Chains A and B, each alone.
Chain A
Amino acid sequence: MDEPGTIPEVGETLGPLDILVTPERVRAYADAAHDHNPIHLDAAFAATTHFGGPIAHGMLLLAYLARVLGERFGRAWVENGALEARFRGPAMVGTSVRVHGTVRTVIEALDGIQVECAMQCADPSGQTLVQATARVRLHR
């Protein structure tokens, strides 16, 4: 992975980041985000749902995407980043997810270098759970 601040090239890969979605991680996120929906935390309740068990917060998966973007683009990501994400499926607690991306476009503009990335979070079978487009403006 390149250092933050270097100019990316189209096709450059971001990540991967592999994370096991444990109950402890989901609990920690629930506490930090103040989101204690039982679908994430209560196994008995979640077992009665059409998911069949607890699922990770969608916003936790986005945080993992943001982590990959922050590792590549550094402070630019937190200063001017943008993300458009669609949730395609649930991340079951107890399974792992893989976050990765690809630089799609790099455009020189008056106010910096506009970078667009295709991002994905997938389950171990490769099924897409989150599909996203991220944009960030890098200073020259």
Chain B
Amino acid sequence: MDLSQVQAGFAFPSQTISLDAAEVDAYIRAVEDPSPAYRGGGAVVPPLAILALAMRGLTDLLTRHPGSTHASQRLTVLRPVPVGSTVTAELIVRTRSERRGFAALILEARVHNAAGPALEGEMLLMVPLGDGSPANG
């Protein structure tokens, strides 16, 4: 799949993500976040962990597009997601334009769990049209 050629409206396959304690623990250890919100009774999942995992299919794809850059990122938490939840993530290409040899893609991420919408994100990716230099993700 050529990411630089995806068009506005393109939807990546939705993902169901299990945010179990092991997955969350690996994340908070990696980012060394001491927040008690992520531990013990009533623990919730770090919002950026949810977003990172929601982008998993995209990051796999980006390794095949050297020269891509992640230019900006927005994130809005709509409700906390308890550790142990399962969420569904949808990733849609909102706009596509071309600038100086790159496809500028604005992608929208929407994540929900059984309680409803949990998180929204939006990112700007610059993907080279044709050969480019290495990926920055």
Interface residues of A (CB under 8 A from B): 19, 25, 28-29, 31-40, 45-46, 48-51, 55, 57-60, 62-64, 66-67, 70-71, 74-75, 77-87, 90
Contact = CB atoms under 8 A, between A and B. Distances in A.
Contacts of A75: 37, 44, 80
A67 B32 CA distance: 8
B29 A49 contact: no
A138 to B, nearest CB: 14
Given A79-B77, A82-B75, A39 B136 contact: yes
Contact of A39 (B38, B75, B137): B137
A45 B133 CA distance: 11
Interface of B: 23, 26-27, 29-35, 37-38, 44, 46-49, 51-53, 55-56, 59, 62-63, 66, 69-80, 133-137
Contacts of A38: 63, 134-135
Given A40-B137, A62-B73, A79-B80, A28 B30 contact: yes
A34 B59 contact: yes
Given A28-B30, A35-B59, 10 more contacts: A34-B52, A34-B56, A38-B134, A51-B134, A58-B137, A64-B31, A71-B34, A78-B44, A86-B72, A87-B72
7 contacts: A25-B30, A31-B26, A50-B134, A66-B31, A78-B77, A82-B74, A82-B75
Nearest to B121: A83
A58 B30 contact: no
A85 B73 contact: yes
A25 B66 CA distance: 23
